[in-house]
Structure formats: C-alpha cells, structure tokens
Amino acid sequence: MELESATGKLNAYFDGRQPEIMGMIERLVNMDSFSEDGEDVNKVGETVSGWMREAGFHTEKIAKPAIDPDESWMEKLGNVFSARTHEREAGPGIVFLGHMDTVFPAGTAAARPFRVEGGRAYGPGVADMKAGVVANMFAARALKDLGLIDVPMTLMFSPDEELGAPTATRVYRERISGARAVICAEPGFPDGGVTTERRGSGHFHMRISGISAHAGRCYEDGASAILELAHKIVALDAFVDAQAQTIVNTGLISGGNSANAVAPWADARIHITFNTVDAAERLVENVRAVAARTFVPRTTTRISGGIRLHPLEYTADVETLFGMAERACAAMGGYTIRRNRALGASEAGFTASVLGIPSICSMGPEGAELHSPSEYLSVDTVLPRCKMIALTAIQAARAFPSTRV
C-alpha cells in the first residue's frame, strides 16, 4: 500500500514534467564532455550541481585524488561532483551513480546536436549517459520534494567512467563506502533491460623508449620503440579468447618524431575485459609479462594501470534490488523490465565487488547503438525510468542497513 501511495504522488509530480526533463537532457547533450577534456566535463558538472543546489542539495566539486607519477595523463581529467541531501556525517545513504563523460571529442556536439525524430532522441552521449544522469537528478529531487524517503541520498557524477573511472573510484572509496545501495543509471537496454550482471574492465598505459637514428644513414644505430610496440601488440593479441569473453584491445597508439628517423618513443593505451576477478588477475599478469619482455634490443618499457572496474556479479543483493525494480514497475503499470547481462563494464561493478554495496545497473532510460553516431534514446522510457529509480530507492532505503561488512 505504501508503494502504491508513493507511486500516486510520483505520477502527479512527474505529470507534465517531460518537457523539462527532455530540456535538461538536450542541454547536457549539447555540451561536449570527452573524457580527456576535463574542462568540458567540469562544465557539465557545474551545470548539474547548480541545478541540484537550486533544489536544496548540498553540492561539491570534489578535489582530485593524488595521481601516481606513472599516471600523469590523469591530471587533465575532470572532477567528481556530488549532491547530497544531508551533511557527510549522516552517511551516503542511497547512492545515485552516473557519469558525465562521453567518448566523443570536442566539436561533436556542435556537429551532431540533440534532435528528436520518430520517438528517438539523438546526439553524442544522449543515452550513455546524459539521460541517465538527468533521470537520477529528477528522481532524487522528486523524492526530496515529496518527502518520500527518510534516509540520506547522495548523487555522484563521475568524470572518467569511459576510461575505467581511474580517479572516480578513488573518490568513491572515501565518499560512499557504507552506503545502503547504489542505483546506477547507465542506459537501460531496449525492451526493458536492467543489468544484474556485468563484465569487468581494465586499462593500461604502455610507454616505450628507444634510440633515435637517421633511418637512411645509420638505421642500425637506432632502436625503434614503434617496432617494439608492434611486437608487443601481436603478443598481447594471443590472450584474446572471444569464447571466454576475455578481450585485450590495443585501442590507441602513437610514437616517433619523423618518418625518416628511428622512433625513440611509442605509447599505447590497452583495454581489457573479463568475466571474473580470477580471469582479470591472470590477464593483468600476462599483460605485464609481455611489457617486461624485450623484443627489440636497447628498448625499455614502462607500464601502468591494471583492473579499473570489477565485474558486477549476480548475487542475492542484486536479485533483491531487481525485485524492487520489478515491484516498482508493477505499481506503475504499463512498463515491464527484464534481467540483462551486459558485456561492458560500469562503476556498479566497483561499488558492488570492491565496496560491497548492493548495486544494480542500467536503471536509466533505454537506449542503444552506444558510442556511435547512431546512438539513440527511447523518449517514451524517460518518465517510467525516472519513476522506477525513485520507487526502487524508497524500497532499498527500508531493506538495506546503512553499514555493511
């Protein structure tokens, strides 16, 4: 009966708010927020935190954690932003998780701005996950405005999830440990998919130093860092096992100073995915073994990184949260969900597997063709997903204690 009462209040609250919600999604989609452009990502952070602050939330641009010297590239990333109903001393309570960054470089928003056609919204990051960020914002604000939840709420806005959340997860250790539950609003899958199981991922940065020489006059005096990298890429490919869903992908490479000079340096960014923590640890060991091996004499290699986002495993807590989402949909009527196993990683895997917080993922509005120019959001799922997030949070606040071992 309590759920039905809350549903009625939420229906009345959201009645007529779709234009406002879609307007905020449009605003964020039309803001570039490429993961490695921290200034752009922080502009999104200021936008969302400003909106939450107007609603009476305590907001903060959280200082960046200490960066390892081997990971100096992280210095250019953005900050985690947060919005809380209570002071930090009250604990995080229910956490609404989402990321602000996208995979689209600066200029994409201007080239492909937000548009709606045939019930679908398009634009860079519209589903992954500008719409999910907005859904969390409106769901939490509705719960606060209506007084439907009696525990703290914390919204976390990540700047670097698409890179494996290397700085965000360090912030989460400090800020949301002990939370009752995490609702991650990654995009829902078409036909009601909510993720109850995910693979994990990792990222590496490999830097190779060689010796420069004139490629025509004295090639043998040099030691090519690019050639060394090529050998390592081929060696890493041997660990790909598509059947076991273990993937090693060298996705970015750079190096050299001139076409007629032996390359004195080469860089690579490597991404790995895996199903279990055991598989991840073996894969990390193998990647580091390849990095330690020398194929081209007189070259040296440094490698940093490792597991970033752990797998989201199907546990009793996940099942409990999914049951809450199902009951939310039943109370709403007219919208159903299904369990989904996602191949990609998300921050929900970290909060569940590392922090031990009951977590569920893909609770945001439905979308597909992510990371592509065809990425879209199903507009008719925006309001149902906002309500589902809110109703799931109400139940989770009752079911889970504030501190878990």
The CB density around residue 177, as the number of other CB atoms within 10 Å, is: 16
The CB density around residue 8, as the number of other CB atoms within 10 Å, is: 11
CB under 8 Å to 120, separation ≥6 — which residues?
376, 377, 378, 379
The CB density around residue 220, as the number of other CB atoms within 10 Å, is: 7
Catalytic residue among 26, 37, 101, 375: 101
Is there a catalytic annotation at residue 101?
yes
Helices and strands in the chain, H and E counts: 11, 17
Q: Cβ distance 98 to 43 under 8 Å?
A: no
Written as six digits, the tokens of 72 are: 């100096």
Strand partners, 120: 117, 378
**Residues, the chain:** 405
DSSP assignments along 273-323, one per residue: EESSHHHHHHHHHHHHHHHH--SSTT-EEEEEEEEEE--B---HHHHHHHH
Catalytic residue among 128, 161, 162, 375: 161
Greatest alpha-carbon span in the chain: 84
Q: Cβ distance 284 to 306 under 8 Å?
A: yes
Alpha-carbon Rg for the chain, nearest whole angstrom, is 22
Written as six digits, the tokens of 334 are: 């007219």
Q: Which residues are catalytic?
A: 101, 161
